[in-house]
Amino acid sequence: VVLAEVIKAFGAPENAQRMEEARDNACNDMGKMLQFLLPVATQIQQDVIKAYGFSNDGEGVLKFARLVKSYESQDPEIASMSGKLKAMFLPPMTLPPHGAGAGGVAAS
């Protein structure tokens, strides 16, 4: 229930706008993502989870994230919603091209 409410909060027009502005400021730079996007995402989550007994700070968000993580393997719906939530504020991870970064030496 809490996870669904957090996801819903990210979809609220004012929060979506805040996230979009933070994303624009970050310019796909991972360091800037941490500087601009993560604090906004944390604040949005805090606003929801404090009503469910989590502390209204970064530690409350971390406890919530750990709790969600602990249920992911037991409940496919929670795992799906958790992935959806992460996609809202974490940039998609791109893998390097196959064979790149191995020192140019192919394994035989």
pLDDT tens, position by position, 83-108: 999 888 776 656 556 554 455 555 54
Average pLDDT of the chain? Answer: 86
By residue range, what is the domain housing residue 11? 2-88
> Do the Cβ atoms of 64 and 78 come closer than 8 Å?
no
Q: Let me know if residue 107 belongs to a domain.
A: no
Q: Let me know if residue 106 belongs to a domain.
A: no
Name residue 84's amino acid.
K
Q: Let me know if residue 69 belongs to a domain.
A: yes
- Using CA atoms, how far residue 32 sits from 46, 78, 106, 108, in Å, is 21, 29, 35, 40
Q: Let me know if residue 83 belongs to a domain.
A: yes
> What is the number of structural domains in the chain?
1
> Do the Cβ atoms of 26 and 33 come closer than 8 Å?
yes
> Do the Cβ atoms of 5 and 20 come closer than 8 Å?
no
